[in-house]
């Protein structure tokens, strides 16, 4: 016949099980947190016009996930798409236009079900902030007072939108000799701010975030395709769940407030 345990020993024995389970759970959770912190950072290939807000949101996201801050490769969306198709590593792609994202989807390089629209923007015509103030609108680009117009090249979605605007206004032939194609929308903004060209087409967010620019006209919505920033997780991502969490974080209230302040348009129904 077993000898009964003293009451205090019996209580200790009963508590030992839950305490041991709790210790094991805590230890497992600690190892999971350590593993996340030790994992390589997410690699995010993003349109150049997103660089400022994404950098500002990187550390808060990392703290919330217990992970390293994402690392960014920023540039023209079309150029980033080409890099990814040629094997450049990336966990997340954020494009300023649908064409580069469509190309990756057709190539089977996106994680199924991860693609989503993230933000909107407006296309604006800017001149150097220090240029003499005189009336100028999009139609005026054909006039003799404008000699050089910066525009994104064929890899830059902002350039696609700008060419659509010029065609809509019937200005394509008139301004063709004046166009200076550049490799990113930020390059266009710098060329205008430095006074190397008379005018240029950039996103409204660039005009808000960067100095040295003055907006003289906003392209009518009907003159170009809707400007939609889309994001997706790459099929080859090493951390697909973290990459999905990153995309969702761009729709958080704090992120939406920041994007709005930086000149982007918030799409309806895009909260996480």
| CATH number, domain containing residue 137 | 3.40.190.10
Domain around 49: 41-120+227-261
Q: 46 is written with which tokens? A: 């993003």
Nearest to 110 by CA among 122, 118, 102: 102
Q: Using a CB cutoff of 8 Å and minimum separation of 24, what contacts does 23-29 make?
A: none
Let me know whether 140 and 154 are in one domain. Answer: yes
The secondary structure element, H or E, covering residue 151 is strand 149-152
Q: How far is CA 38 from CA 31, 42, 54, 170, 239, in A?
A: 10, 12, 22, 56, 12
Report the distance separating Cα 234 and Cα 73, nearest Å.
Answer: 14
Let me know whether 83 and 156 are in one domain. Answer: no
Query: CB of 60 within 8 A of CB of 254?
Result: yes
Q: How far is CA 7 from CA 13, 20, 50, 53, 198, in A?
A: 10, 20, 66, 62, 90
Q: 127 is written with which tokens? A: 């001149």
What is the total count of domains within the chain?
2
Let me know whether 49 and 114 are in one domain. Answer: yes
Report the distance separating Cα 206 and Cα 213, nearest Å.
Answer: 9
How much is the pLDDT for 143?
Answer: 95
Q: Supply φ then ψ for residue 3, to 5 degrees.
A: -85, 125
How much is the pLDDT for 36?
Answer: 52
pLDDT per position in the chain (272 positions), as tens? 444 434 444 434 433 454 344 433 344 445 545 545 568 999 999 999 999 999 999 999 999 999 999 999 999 999 999 999 999 999 999 999 999 999 999 999 999 999 999 999 999 999 999 988 888 999 999 999 999 999 999 999 999 999 999 999 999 999 999 999 999 999 999 999 999 999 999 999 999 999 999 999 999 999 999 999 999 999 999 999 999 999 999 999 999 999 999 999 999 864 44
How much is the pLDDT for 136?
Answer: 92
Instruction: Specify the pTM.
Output: 0.81
Nearest to 214 by CA among 130, 122, 146: 130
Let me know whether 132 and 212 are in one domain. Answer: yes
Q: Identify whether 268 is part of a domain.
A: no
Report the distance separating Cα 223 and Cα 221, nearest Å.
Answer: 5
Q: Supply φ then ψ for residue 144, to 5 degrees.
A: -70, -15
């Amino acid at each position: 016949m077993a000898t009964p345990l003293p009451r205090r020993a019996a209580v200790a024995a009963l508590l030992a099980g839950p305490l041991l389970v709790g210790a094991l759970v805590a230890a497992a959770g600690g190892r999971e947190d350590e593993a996340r912190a030790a994992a390589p950072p997410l690699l995010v290939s993003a349109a150049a016009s997103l660089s400022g807000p994404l950098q500002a949101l990187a550390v808060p996201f990392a703290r919330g996930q217990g992970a390293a801050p994402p690392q960014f490769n920023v540039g023209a969306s079309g150029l980033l798409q080409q890099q990814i198709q040629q094997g450049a590593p990336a966990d997340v792609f954020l494009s300023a236009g649908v064409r580069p994202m469509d190309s990756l989807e057709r190539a089977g390089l996106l994680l199924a079900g991860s693609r989503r629209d993230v933000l909107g923007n407006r296309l604006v015509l800017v001149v150097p902030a220090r240029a003499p103030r005189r009336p100028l609108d999009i139609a005026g680009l054909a006039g003799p007072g404008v000699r050089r117009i910066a525009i994104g090249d064929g890899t830059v979605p902002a350039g696609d939108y700008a060419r659509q605007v010029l065609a809509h206004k019937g200005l394509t032939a008139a301004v063709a000799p004046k166009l200076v194609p550049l490799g990113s929308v930020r390059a266009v903004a710098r060329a205008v701010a430095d006074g190397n060209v008379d005018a240029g087409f950039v996103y409204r967010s660039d005009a808000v975030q960067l100095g040295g620019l003055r907006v003289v006209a906003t392209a009518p919505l009907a003159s170009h395709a809707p400007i939609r920033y889309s994001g997706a997780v790459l099929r080859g991502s090493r951390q697909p769940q973290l990459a999905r969490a990153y995309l969702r974080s761009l729709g958080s209230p704090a992120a939406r407030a920041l994007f709005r302040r930086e000149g982007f348009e918030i799409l309806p129904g895009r909260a996480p």
